[in-house]
Amino acid sequence: MHLFVASLALALAVLCPPPGTDPALAAAPGLVLNEFLAGPARDWNGSGAVSTRDDEWVEVFNAGGSTVDLSAYVITDSDRVPRMALSGALAPGGRRLVFGSDSYAWEKAQGYPAYGLSLGNSADGVMLWQVAGAETLLVDSYTYKSHEAAADRAVGRRADGGEWVLLDALDPYSGTTPPLGTGCEPTPGAENRCGNVPALTSTWGRIKSLYR
């Protein structure tokens, strides 16, 4: 495993496309970044203690129609240093949640300097990579601003796999720099439903009465 990680790190260092690379050259995945939180102020991982390192988290989502082998996927921040290599498989519609504590344990096991997910609180990025042989493909990424990394604010997709929004119910954002606040709560490991309103069920008789 250590040799794999070393070669993975080399692949990221040598083969990663520079900023501004044509997105058409990146992978077209079923796997996407779905939600993350860079500024924890509570015990998100359930360890019994609040840690700005261990309680950061990133969620990935399988938006495709087939099971994804996660063994070649890696999460980094904008410095492109591997922070967590995924493992196992993810079924369609499945989510994988990675905490900073998971990343820290993985880095230590691989002999890396251990910092966890290392998501900056002024501005940074979250990146998902796929290493396949001699190629390293940028699968998905999101660059965020400082207000998106404030205490217990998450950034996620309005619906799983959809557009990115600010999830600020725990620390409301009243500024004017996009993305604006939505009042939605972070949903680590659960379905994203920001702004979704359940359909109202009705009878045929009630529907006909609307048009009398």
List of E strands, the chain: 31-37, 57-62, 68-69, 73-77, 84-85, 89-90, 95-99, 124-132, 135-144, 154-157, 164-167
Measured from the Cβ of residue 90, the count of other Cβ atoms closer than 10 Å reads 20
- Arithmetic mean of pLDDT over the chain: 84
- The three-state secondary structure class of 9 is helix
- Does this model's pTM top 0.85? no
Q: Give the residue ranges of the chain where pLDDT is below 50.
A: 1-4, 6-7, 10-11, 13-28, 197-212
